[in-house]
């Protein structure tokens, strides 16, 4: 846990709020959630020995994580749609500019309108994540050494997951107003690494949100910078001066390169979000299957599990 958190500490401030950092963070979460599955198997702790509160704790949290994943996937899909706008813009600029500049202006406006939209699904993530924060206390376990180990591990993974999801939700929404620091006991072996990570990321995020840019997402912002440089040229018409014409061609090539970088980043992050969703869903299914087959589980517990299962 400590080593994974250290790897997420950005080497430079430019890495904060980038899709590449989000991808690294999602990969880390996938590994940690897989480790929980392995730990449960290694502990040999049958479901019949689980406290009812542990099962409720896990199933309720997993539903909320799945909801956030769905919201993130919808935002990545929305951002992916901007690739079509960029492709149209580049096509118009790379064709005969004299005939295509009017269409290029239209594509430019479409791009700005698209990235300026707010996704209500992302906005809905904040109350979900706050409800997870409210139940973040380290669970107390009596008379079960294995149970204490499991709850301690699940607490650590939950902290890391909430942190990454809050940062990602803030980045997608373009607002850091709902960001706040998570508090964890200093006695935990990964607490120091988490404290450094949280201070570094949240501090830089506040700086970026105060910049009043159209977007704080690094790869999207880079594309937007290229668009803004091309804007006055597109509005002014085809450059006749050879030097200005060369500058124009250079800017178009730069936009194409940045648009491709954005496209690849969105595709890679989307795969990791889908991967995390499948890990959480598979873990839920495994536990619910065990609940159905374990005759020692009280009826009221399996009944509640069926209700939670109906969510997905």
Tens digits of residue pLDDT in 269-295: 999 999 999 999 998 887 777 666 654
The closest alpha carbon to 58, from 270, 304, 246, 261, belongs to 304
Q: Render each residue's pLDDT in the chain as its tens digit; 312 residues.
A: 999 999 999 988 888 889 999 999 999 999 999 998 888 888 877 766 676 777 787 888 899 999 999 999 999 999 998 888 898 888 888 776 666 777 888 888 888 888 888 899 999 999 999 999 998 876 676 777 888 888 889 899 999 999 999 999 999 988 877 788 999 999 999 999 999 999 999 998 888 888 766 577 899 999 999 999 988 887 776 665 777 778 888 998 999 999 999 999 999 999 999 999 999 999 888 777 766 665 454 444 444 444 444 444
The closest alpha carbon to 50, from 305, 311, 307, belongs to 305
Rg over alpha carbons for the chain, rounded to the nearest Å, is: 24
Give a three-class secondary structure readout of 137-183: CCCCCCCCHHHHHHHHHHHHHHHHHHHHHHHHHHHHHCCCCCCCCCC
Cα–Cα dist 54/47, whole Å: 10
Paired tokens of 66: 């799945």
Full-model pTM: 0.87
The angle that helices 19-43 and 145-173 make with each other, rounded to 10 degrees, is 160
The DSSP annotation for 38-62 comes to: HHHHHHT--GGGS-HHHHHHHHHHH
Tens digits of residue pLDDT in 6-28: 999 998 888 888 999 999 999 99
């Amino acid at each position: 846990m400590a080593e994974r958190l250290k790897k997420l500490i950005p080497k430079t401030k430019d890495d904060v709020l980038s899709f590449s950092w989000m991808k690294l963070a999602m990969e880390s979460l996938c590994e940690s959630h897989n480790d929980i599955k392995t730990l449960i198997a290694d502990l040999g702790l049958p479901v019949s020995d689980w406290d009812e509160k542990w099962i409720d704790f896990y199933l309720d949290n997993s539903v909320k994580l799945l909801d956030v994943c769905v919201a993130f996937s919808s935002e990545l899909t929305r951002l992916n749609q901007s690739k079509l706008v960029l492709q149209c813009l580049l096509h118009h600029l790379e064709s005969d500019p004299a005939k295509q500049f009017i269409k290029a202006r239209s594509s430019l406006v479409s791009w700005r309108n698209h990235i300026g939209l707010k996704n209500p699904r992302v906005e809905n993530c904040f109350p979900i994540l706050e409800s997870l924060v409210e139940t973040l206390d380290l669970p107390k376990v009596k008379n079960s050494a294995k149970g204490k180990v499991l709850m301690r591990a699940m607490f650590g993974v939950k902290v890391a997951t909430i942190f990454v999801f809050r940062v990602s939700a803030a980045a997608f929404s373009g607002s850091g107003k709902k960001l706040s620091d998570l508090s964890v006991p200093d006695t935990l072996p990964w607490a120091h690494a988490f404290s450094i990570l949280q201070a570094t990321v949240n501090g830089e995020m506040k700086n970026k949100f105060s910049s009043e840019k159209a977007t704080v997402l690094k790869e999207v912002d880079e594309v937007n910078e290229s668009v803004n440089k091309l804007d006055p040229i597109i509005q002014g018409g085809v450059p006749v001066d050879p030097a200005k014409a060369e500058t124009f061609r250079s800017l178009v090539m730069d936009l194409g390169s940045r648009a491709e970088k954005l496209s690849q980043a969105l595709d890679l992050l989307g795969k990791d979000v889908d991967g995390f969703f499948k890990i959480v869903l598979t873990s839920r299914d495994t536990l619910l299957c065990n609940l159905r087959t374990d005759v020692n589980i009280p009826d009221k517990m399996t009944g509640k599990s069926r209700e939670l299962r109906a969510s997905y």
